[in-house]
Amino acid sequence: MAKYTLKRLLYCVVILFFVMFIVYVLMYNMPTGFVEQKARELASRPNALKSYAEWLADLNAQYGMDKGVILGYLTWLKSAVVGNWGDSWAWTVPVLTEFHNTVWYSFALGLVSFVLEIIIAVPLGIVAAKKQYGFTDYFASIISMICISLPTFFVATLLKYIFSVQLGWFDLTGMQGRDYLNLDDFGKFLDIAKHFVLPSLTLTIVSIGGLMRFTRTNMLEVLNSDYVRTARAKGVPEKRVINYHAFRNTLIPLVTTLGGSLPGLFGGALITETLFAIRGIGYASYISMTQADIPFTMFYLAFISILTLLGNLITDLLYAVVDPRVRLS
């Protein structure tokens, strides 16, 4: 097991190397660069002393874009490996500082919606499978279809319209309310929590559809299997058949999928965060990307790649934990 994990980790490193190279090449060739924008801005100012072309050359040299693609990548890689990700061009603070400031909000948002979606979708899926073709099943299926089909920005805007504009229960956007300063620590915490309600709701709504369908499908497959029939033939009460015998098997794909998505909690939800002005990592990355802030974007994409690879690894390892058939002896 340990050897397997080690081997997988090494593969991850190799994959990461090439993924980051591809990302770097794409960033390098983006048409509207931060550098060009800044050059244009500097040149069009009154009393500008240099022309656009001169500023461009200056800034390119300053930001290291004048080397070739491969050299540039290796230069960046050399400093990245030791943990020096450089200063963000858009935020003008070190990349890691900006990261620390923003990732925990995304994580909080992700965690809350993760827990909520499990609580709602999994039991619903089980019930839908148990009473297949019954009312619950159709109802749950319709709900999940609706939730899958709705795009995030639509759900977010809809929630904002209903709960903020029409009902006035929540603030439209932002992370803290107007009176934040005057609250004590607990009050501040509650205020931020209140502002997180709509974004978490958005993320939950968007995710429960898929999870419910997934649970239902797996549950159905399990309920029609032979060993469930054997259990019934043994005289096992129906409740225990569902909740113990069947569910334990449904758990395998469930746990592995959910476990694999755990690293994704840190990845941030770009659209939701932007629409609700939550300063999470998704939002920060969006701003950086539109301004072609190469250091931050490279870091974020490296981060996401690491999370994805980690997620895959966790999934595979979890399989071995929950499914005895997969264990390597």
Partner 1 sequence: MAVSSKAKGDSSYISGRESRRITKFNRKITRKLENERANANKDPKLYTTHMKDPNNVVEFDNVCTYFFTDVGTVKSVDGVSFNIPKHSTVGVVGESGCGKSVTSLSLMQLLQRPSGQVVGGQIRFNTGNGEAIDIVNAPNKIMETIRGNRISMIFQEPMTALNPVFKIGEQVDEATELHNPDMSKEDIKKRTLEMLDLVGIANKEGVYEMYPHELSGGMRQRVCIAIALACSPTLIIADEPTTALDVTIQAQILDLLQSLKDKMDSSIMLITHDLGVVAGMADYVVVMYAGRIIERGTADEIFHRPAHPYTIGLMKSKPVIGRKVEKLYNIPGSVPNPVNMPNYCYFRDRCEMQCEHCSGDYPPEIQIGETHIVSCYRFLDEGEIVGHPQSVDVEKLLSGD
Partner 2 sequence: MLKGLTRRSFIAGAAATAAMASLGVGGAIAAEAKPSTLVYATSTFGQKFSPFFYTTAYDGEVVDQVVNVLLASDRGGAIVEHGIEGEVRTYNGTDYTYYGLGDVDVVQNDDGTVDYNLKMREDVVFSDGKPATIDDVIFGIYVCCDPMYDGSSTIYALPIEGMNEYRAGIQPLIDLLLAGGPEGASSSDYFNEDQFKNFWDAFKKGGANFAQEIIDYCKAKGYNAADDSIAKTAATWGFSLKDDATIDDFFSAIVDTYGYDLSDNGINNETAGTSITDFIFSELDEKFVNDLQAVIDTGISAPNISGIKRTGDYSMTVHMTKYDATAIYSCAFVVAPKHYYGDEALYDYDNNMFGFPKSDLSIVKAKNTEPMGSGPFTYEGYSNGVVTLKANKNYFLGAPATEVMLMQESVDSDYVPGIVTGTFDLAMPSINDDTLKAIESANKGGLVGDVITTYLVDYRGYGYLGINADLVNVNNEPGSDASKALRKGFMTLFSVYRDTVINSYYGDRASVIQYPISNTSWAAPQPADEGYRVAYSQDVDGNDIYSSAMSEEEKYAAALQATIGFFKAAGYTFDEASGKFTDFTTEYEVMIPGQGTQDHPAYGIIEAAVNALETIGVKLHLNDVGTSVWNNSLESNTAQMWAAAWQASVDPDMTQVYTGQNAHGNGTNSNHYSIDDPVLDEMIADARSSSDTAYRKSEYKQCFDIVMDWGVELPTYQRKNCYTVSTERVDIDTMPQDMTPFWVWYAEVERLAMR
Is position 226 an interface residue for partner 1 (rule: CB under 8 A)? yes
Site of interaction with partner 2 (CB under 8 A): 31-32, 40, 43-53, 90-93, 116, 119-120, 122-123, 126-127, 160, 164-165, 168-169, 171-184, 186-187, 190-194, 197, 243, 247, 274-275, 277-279, 287
Angle 294-322/2-28 helices, nearest 10 degrees?
A: 150
275 interacts with, out of partner 1, partner 2, none, CB within 5 to 8 A per kind: partner 2
Tell me the site size for partner 1, rule CB under 8 A. Answer: 21
Q: Which is nearer to partner 1, 27 or 231 (CB)?
A: 231
Piece of 38-46, 136-144, 174-182, 318-326 that binds partner 1 (CB under 8 A): 318-326
Is position 130 an interface residue for partner 1 (rule: CB under 8 A)? no
Question: How far is 34 from 39, CA to CA, in rounded Å?
Answer: 8
Q: Which is nearer to partner 2, 10 or 26 (CB)?
A: 26
Residue 239: other Cβ atoms inside 10 A: 8
String of DSSP letters for 178-246: TTGGGS-HHHHHHHHHHHHHHHHHHHHHHHHHHHHHHHHHHHHHHHTSHHHHHHHHTT--HHHIIIIII
In the complex, what is the shortest distance from the CB of residue 237 to partner 1, in angstroms, rounded to a whole number? Answer: 6
Q: Which is nearer to partner 1, 100 or 248 (CB)?
A: 248
135, two tokens: 């009312």
Question: How far is 144 from 204, CA to CA, in rounded Å?
Answer: 12
Q: Which residues neighbour 168 within 8 Å (Cβ) at sequence distance 6 or greater?
A: none
Is position 233 an interface residue for partner 1 (rule: CB under 8 A)? yes
Is position 227 an interface residue for partner 1 (rule: CB under 8 A)? yes
Interface residue list for partner 1 (CB under 8 A): 225-227, 229-238, 245, 248-249, 252, 322-325
